[in-house]
Structure 1
Amino acid sequence: MFENFMTALRVVLPLALFMGIGVLVRTFKVVDRPTMRKVDGLCFRLFMPTLLFKNIYESDVLHHMDGWGFLYVLVCILILFFVAGLLLPRRLLPDGDSAAAVGQAMIRPNYILFGIAVGTSIFGSGSAGIGIVALFGALIVPLVNIFSTLILELNRSGKADLKNLFLSILKNPMIIATLFALTLLALNIRIPDLLYTVVSDVAGVTTTIAFISLGVSLDLSQTLSNRRTLILAVLSRMVLIPLIFLPLSIALGFRDGALCALMIFFAAPTAVASYPMAVAMGADGPLAGQLVCSTTVTSIFTIFCWTFLLRTFGLM
């Protein structure tokens, strides 16, 4: 019991401390939010794809591909898209802009950032477990990007541009990194050690920089203006969705790396990228930012609880 408690603590404590450093950095005006937004862009285009590439490349994922798991993820995303992304926000919220922001928050987890960090803490770098977590991410990230865009467009304007969706998938750095890693593994091509050292060093700073940047962006001062909507959305995203889907995942036989991937998918906070995307597409930007902050703070407690429970019952 104590060992499982410490494992869960090791998962969330570094993440909480990194975000705390980010809050202090902003408080003492060491760096401002506009600067960190540029850092966020660098994380998305360089650091996170490199980390995803490294974890797939170092793991024997070609022998651990789970077609049933991928099908299950697709079905779950479709359910979340129609129910949590479109149906409930439209019925509960008075305007399309707010419904779009909440709908996106329900379906778009901060998977790469939290998934790789949590998976590495539990299974270790280079393990089959973290490889499976990374591979699930390669499926989850583009799918939730597609459906998030559809939610924003359908709630806001009632239509969506499928051509732009397809092009955005092809240009997504996470997709490019995943395909590159899988191609090298399939062809049994090994990167020279001298070059791979640079890849490892770049990947190694991702978690630290990304979570400090996340801490800089956290601002709960405006949440009171939307407290009813935020309470409903946070409870749905961080409590209700994992309570429904994680027991179902366990009952269907998912364990270890696959169950960890599903835990992150269902219990991770809303992705930071949902805020600029909501602003760019004309949804309720302030509400989207408040959802990111609120779910991120809540996730420290909920991910700890889920990790502790799943480890205690020997499921992960």
Structure 2
Amino acid sequence: MFSNFVVAVSAVIPIFVLIGIGLFVKRAKLMTPEELKHTNRMVFRVFFFCMMFANIYRADFEDGFDPSLVVFGMTAVTLLFLASMAFAVWFEKDNRKRGSIAQAIFRSNFVILGIPIVVNIFGEEAALIPTMMIAAIVPLYNIFAVFELEMFRGGKFQLVPILIRVLKNPMIDGIILGALCRLLPFPIPDPILKPIAQVGAATTPVALIILGASFEKGGIADSRRDLWASTIARLIVAPAIMLTAAALLGFRGAEFVTLIAIFATPCAVASYAMAQQMGADAALAGNCVVFTSALSAFTMFGWVFVTKTLGLF
């Protein structure tokens, strides 16, 4: 039992220490909001590209990657999206709030937290699994988010422009280019590959520090009911259903922990910006990010501890 507790602590604590450093950076005013905005853009466009490229290029595919994990992950995210839409329509009458609620429930912070959770438990050699899942899940998140936000504001959903934007996503570009470079008849020279890998290795700590430094507190008086419903659904209900299904289907080890990272992590930071840009309730979306991120320090520990105790990894 104690060893399971140690595993859970080792998986979660490093993530929130880095977020805490970001909170210190914010409190000490070491970066202005404009500097944070530019740094966040750099992390997204450069660091994530390098991390995905290096992970794919250096991955040992002989260890095997189960395609059924991708099928399950994409199916589960799709079902969670449909359920979140139905819940938002039933629970809330205001379309602006419906968009923020649905997005908070189905769209997790898997991109930022997925790889560190798996690596903290299984080591760098397991990074291929969440990397491949990012390639499958990120396009779904983007397509579903635009679809539901457009629907709730009465707009027109256009698939082709969305797919074009997905293909311009630096993470997707890094995965594609890394895969193409593996097909070259010669290896990438080490003086070129090494600095790319070094930047990639810095992605997780820098991204988590910026995440902590970017937190904004907002009033919750007008949306307390919606906020708590979204938070409970995101951190407790969704992982309880999806992880139970995954366990029954036989997923174990690093694959199961990757699914924890998809379904038990807080709602995506990007959901706030998207809600703001597309006419949803941005204040509610921002509060969902803050609340789920803060409470996930306890719920993520709980999911890792419980599933480890049950022998699922």
Same fold per superposition (TM over 0.5): yes
CA–CA distance in structure 2, aligned partners of residues 230 and 299 of structure 1: 14
TM-score (normalizing by structure 1): 0.93
Residue of structure 2 equivalent to 1:91: 90
Aligned pairs for 1:206-221 (under 5 A) are 206-221=203-218
Q: Counterpart of 1:150?
A: 147
Q: Distance in 2 between matches of 1:59 and 1:170?
A: 22
CA spacing shift, 1:188–1:178, aligned 2, 3 Å: farther
2:250 paired residue among 247, 253, 257:
253
Question: Contact 1:274–1:288 (CA<8 Å) still a contact in 2?
Answer: yes
User: Are residues 1:269 and 2:266 paired?
Assistant: yes
Kept in 1: contact 2:100–2:280 (CA 8 A): yes
Q: What's 2:227 paired with?
A: 230
Q: Distance in 1 between matches of 2:179 and 2:259?
A: 21
**Alignment correspondent of 1:77:** 77
Separation in structure 2 between the aligned mates of residue 281 and residue 296 of structure 1, nearest angstrom: 23
Contact 1:56 1:131 in 2 (8 A): yes
Following superposition, the deviation at residue 16 of structure 1 comes to: 1.2
Deviations 1:232-289, CA, capped at 9 Å, x for gaps = 0000011000011101101101111221111111111111111111111111111111
Structure 1 portions without partners, runs of 5+: none
* Structure 1 residue 291: Cα displacement: 0.9
What RMSD over aligned residues (CA atoms) do the two structures have, in Å? 1.7
**Matches of 1:29 and 1:225, distance apart in 2:** 29
More off after superposition, 230-239 vs 142-151? 142-151
Q: Does the alignment pair 1:197 with 2:194?
A: yes
Aligned residue for 1:12? 12
Which amino acid counterpart does residue 229 of structure 2 have in structure 1? Answer: L
Identify the residue that residue 110 of structure 2 maps to in structure 1. 111
Identity of aligned residues (%): 34
Q: Which piece of structure 1 moves more, 52-61 or 229-238?
A: 52-61
The answer to whether the 8 Å contact 2:112/2:207 transfers is yes
Deviation at 1:11, TM superposition (A): 1.7
Deviation digits for residues 101-150 of structure 1 (CA, Å, limit 9, x no counterpart): 1111112111121011111101111x1x3211211111111111111111
Give the whole-Å Cα distance in 2 for the aligned partners of 1:177 and 1:62: 21
Q: AA paired with 1:137?
A: I
Decide whether aligned partners of structure 1 residues 20 and 62 sit closer, same or farther in structure 2, where only a CA change above 3 A counts. same
| 2:273 maps to 1:299 | no
Q: 1:100 offset after TM fit, Å?
A: 0.7
Deviation at residue 2 of structure 1 after TM alignment: 2.1
Deviation at 1:221, TM superposition (A): 4.5
Task: Count how many residue pairs are aligned between Structure 1 and Structure 2.
Answer: 313
Structure-2 change in CA distance of 1:223 and 1:11 (3 Å): farther
Contact 1:15 1:211 in 2 (8 A): yes
> By how many angstroms is 1:32 displaced?
2.7
TM-score by length of 2: 0.94
Matched residue SS, 1:198: helix
Distance 1:307 1:27, change over 3 A: same
> Could you tell me which residue of structure 1 aligns to residue 25 of structure 2?
25
SS in 1 for 2:223: helix
Q: Tell me what 1:54 maps to.
A: 54
